A and B are shown apart, each in its own frame.
Chain A
Amino acid sequence: MGFSRRLSGIALFFGRARRSALRAAEARGLARNFGNRGRRRVLIVGFGFISSWLMPRDGSAAEAKRFAVPIEKGSTPKVQRTLRVTEGDTVEIRFTSDRLLVLHLHGLDIEARVGPGQPAVMAFEATVAGRFPMEVHGQGANGALLYVEVHPR
């Protein structure tokens, strides 16, 4: 997502609620009526189009998100410290590890044992948005192994 595109979202901050109302109206086939209600409505419709074009589009529909996370010496590659998904996604994380570890995803309360030649899979539905730490039990010294960020729809 380019910076400028996100930045254009400033205007969006004020128009979002209306936009969602508009979408609901469109779905009910009422959109045509908006044009007849004067300039303000036209403006809102235009705003709706512009903002829907500006909005980040990642995860506009629920998807299955799969990740493969190799753990070496109890830590993960930097690019995999934060796994981003969208609310409603079905998430599947496959772990491999060079040592025996107990992984725990906080908040969602899922535990998995992983070890050499013993890959583990954590699968869950991301129902609540938030940032959830995945920790290695008994290895608190390294902080969280990674974070799962569930972004709102």
Chain B
Amino acid sequence: MVRVPTARCFTWKCTRARYDRMARPGIAALTALIATPFLAPLPAGAHAFGQRYDLPLPLWLYASGAGAVVALSFAVMALVLHSRRSDPESLYVDVLSLAGLRWLGHPCVVTTVRALSVGLFGLILAACFFGDPGPFDNVAPTFVWVIWWVGLAFLSALFGNLWDLLNPWVNLFRWGERLSGGPPRRRPYPAWLGQWPAVVLFFAFVWMELVFEGAEKPRALGVLILIYSVITWLGMARFGRAAWLRHGEAFSVAFGVLARFAPLHGTGREAAGNGDGEADGPGRALRLRFPAAGLLVPAPMPVSYVCFVILLLTSVTFDGILETPFWQSVLAWVSESTALRGALVYLQQAGVDLLVLIETLALAIAYLVFIGGYAAVSWLIGAAGSERRALRDLAGYFVLSLVPIAIAYHLSHYLSYLLIAGQNIIPLASDPFGIGWDLFGTRAYRLDIGVVSAKMIWYVAVTAIVLGHVIAVWLAHVMALRVFSTRRQALFSQLPMLVLMVAYTMISLWILSQPIVA
């Protein structure tokens, strides 16, 4: 697991002693395969700070959460039983039309924010290549993995899609277009390609976050950012800015999925997807809408989009599973099984990193299990609703209703990480390159590991998960009332979905009740 990005793992300075892959924790059983495990020598004065794992949920809280999930599921069902077809999307307020907030949409404000974002992008890239090569004295790893990836995911889900505004690749590309005299004619984006480019790119990203242990080093991170920049710009140059953002830019799609849950929603020419020739500006309207209303869709989402959403769900859960004793016992089982031993020794001698291999396989298997499970439930929805519907349509209607559960688990899983590891940005802001600067006088800041109490984390986690589950059940029911012709059919169709949601929520709760062994 990558030190910097993964949750609740703050072995910062200590990993210095463990750059060698053989010396990773959790690999004990695998290293035992080889006669002489290589032990990295201990550099004097290696220090860790700010490392605190979340405590496992106490049993009484775990049981209360689980009980509430089941009880509230039926309560929501009973409520929806008597409700009519509802249409929460039609309720919104345009924030920019409110007096006092109009300046938010002013081109000057928008351009300033975009310029700042591009400046930050430049700073991070410069730090990657010219700053300290270690991950702890360089601003880039902390910024990218903690502030940007985890922090922006939180903001996207709870506030609104800021990435649309901040995305430095788009902002740079837009300026490039303007300099070169407006966008040229693009090839139309092939419909069969759908969101598949985003799925592939996001799978690579998830793999780097959860399995590959190299993306925490600034130089490697810089190279990865450059490669991704080239892919993004080529995609936008070929198919047009808006088309690539909707189909190929993995982060626009990912933050976009999360932001469907958010109460703020920017609508404009770009967001509406009018494609080329649009004027600048993130949209002329900023709507305050019913939370989670964006997850209700008028038409089924395409298969590639369904696969993207499920990948997002898998990645969130998989990260938690890697920290459980269950995963340790899987590793132990693999390394002790006599059937696999020969193959493993052979692979290891061929220079394959066994832990990376096993985790990659596990990620792929987890993804396939999630896809298979969801496909099966989609089929059952059709069967239980006794209406002839294409499987792909049913899957496309209901996939987004699972998103609140993923957001809730993501929040519970990463909250202390963001609040504790995120503090690293305070000293790093003063000395982004690790060369002894003290710009803001915060270089000597020490992390406060007590910034959020263990109890607070528990309560936030269980509350979020129960709420997320309730919202998910509600969304699925609202969708079912639209998809099926009678209320009775809609209700029956939701029984398989309810089982899936309870199972998914229980897995999230169960992971939180496990002691972390990283």
Contacts and interface: CB of A to CB of B under 8 A. Distances in A.
Interface of A: 3, 6-10, 12-13, 82, 102, 104, 106-107, 109, 127-133, 135, 137-144, 147, 149-152
- For the residues of A in contact with B, the DSSP-based class is mixed
A130 B31 CA distance: 29
Interface string B48-76: 11111111101111011001000000000
A82 to B, nearest CB: 7
Given A138-B40, A139-B39, A143-B517, A129 B53 contact: no
Contact of B51 (A127, A133, A151): A133
A7 B62 CA distance: 9
Contact of A132 (B39, B52, B64): B52
B40 A131 contact: no
A151 B31 CA distance: 33
A104 B14 contact: yes
Nearest to A7: B63
B46 to A, nearest CB: 6
Closest 7 CB pairs of A and B: A9-B60, A129-B454, A138-B42, A143-B25, A106-B51, A130-B52, A131-B53
B54 A131 contact: yes
A107 B59 CA distance: 25
B59 A6 contact: yes
B28 interface: yes
Contact of A109 (B37, B48, B55, B518): B48
Nearest to A3: B59
Contacts of B61: 9, 13
Interface string B13-46: 0100110001111111001000001011110001
A6 B42 contact: no
Nearest to A131: B53
A116 to B, nearest CB: 18
B10 interface: yes
A144 B517 contact: yes
Given A7-B59, A149-B55, A128 B14 contact: no
B257 to A, nearest CB: 31
B28 A109 contact: no
Given A9-B60, A9-B64, A130 B55 contact: yes
A141 B28 contact: yes
Interface string B454-467: 11000000000000
A137 B53 contact: no
Contact of A152 (B40, B454, B516): B454
22 contacts: A7-B63, A8-B60, A10-B64, A12-B64, A13-B64, A102-B42, A107-B50, A109-B49, A128-B52, A129-B454, A131-B55, A131-B56, A133-B11, A133-B518, A137-B46, A138-B17, A141-B37, A141-B39, A142-B28, A143-B26, A143-B517, A152-B55
Contacts of A139: 39
B341 interface: no
Contacts of A144: 25, 517-518
A111 B500 CA distance: 47
A10 B515 CA distance: 21
Given A7-B63, A140-B40, A144-B25, A106 B11 contact: yes
A132 B53 contact: yes
A49 to B, nearest CB: 18
Contacts of B26: 143
Nearest to A1: B59
Contacts of B50: 107
B106 interface: no
B449 interface: yes
B65 to A, nearest CB: 8
A147 B27 CA distance: 18
Contact of A6 (B18, B48, B63): B63
Contacts of A143: 25-26, 28, 517-518
Interface in B83-126: none
Contacts of A109: 47-49
B450 A128 contact: yes
A138 B31 CA distance: 15
Contact of B515 (A82, A102, A135, A142): A82
Contacts of A102: 42
Contact of A12 (B22, B24, B60): B60
A6 B57 CA distance: 12
Interface string B150-172: 00000000000000000000000
